[in-house]
Copies of this chain bind each other. A is one copy, B any other.
Amino acid sequence: MTASDTRERLLDAAERQFSERGYDGASLREITQAAEANLAAVSYHFGSKEDLFVAVVARRVQPINLERLRLLDQAEARAGERPLEVEAIVEAMIAPVLRSGADGPCVLRMVGRANSESAAPTRRVVEGPMREIRARVRRALRRALPHLNERELSYRMHFTMGVVKSVASDQHLLHAISDGQCDPQDLDGTIAQLVPFLAAGMRAPSVERKRRASARSRRS
């Protein structure tokens, strides 16, 4: 029994509880009980409930972002000097996140929740590593979609990250609204549907000029 045995069990149990009941809703008593550990073990191994949560999230976030960078590298190697395929960029953004929920509860449910509960601890773990990904994705998208300006790039990246977050969080909804035709467990199926959807949205014509004109006419 190594030094990190119950520590790992605590992380697993906490991840399940946090993703099912949220940060506030999950209690250390249930977590430690599910992990077959003592209540005080949380304080001993992590310091506090908040630090436990940060550890749970961090454990999942790093592999996801590494996989994203790997997919981007791979796509760039395939593309050579040409701009990346929009589909490849989108897939690099979303697939690692969705797939991370395959073997257990999804990270994004926790993060999304805690994002508006207690912003500070979550953002420390999530936002930091995310900066690099975003910069890299933006650069690739800028080349692949030269018709978009920076503002539109921001919007569309925001939409993309948004849909993956909500799709990962509300998997049960998909099963409900499709009368069972869509299987939320079939992550590859979801990805196969989501990538073309988002890529088409990304390729949509710029709306800037049209909007400025209509705003001007509305003002007068």
Contacts and interface: CB of A to CB of B under 8 A. Distances in A.
A216 interface: no
A31 to B, nearest CB: 15
Interface in A116-174: 116-118, 127, 134, 150-152, 154-159, 161-163, 165-167, 169-170, 173-174
Report how many copies the assembly holds.
2
A116 B177 CA distance: 17
A155 to B, nearest CB: 4
A199 interface: yes
Interface size class of A (residues with CB under 8 A): 35 or more
A155 B179 CA distance: 12
Given A198-B201, A200-B201, A158 B134 contact: no
Contacts of A112: 112, 166, 169
Contacts of A192: 207, 211
Given A25-B24, A165-B166, A199-B204, A155 B193 contact: yes
B24 A151 contact: no
B134 A177 contact: yes
A4 interface: no
Contact of A170 (B19, B162, B197, B200): B162
A189 interface: yes
Contact of A117 (B21, B161, B190, B200): B21
Contacts of A151: 178, 181-182
A157 B155 CA distance: 20
Contact of A182 (B113, B155, B166, B178): B155
A80 interface: no
Nearest to A195: B207
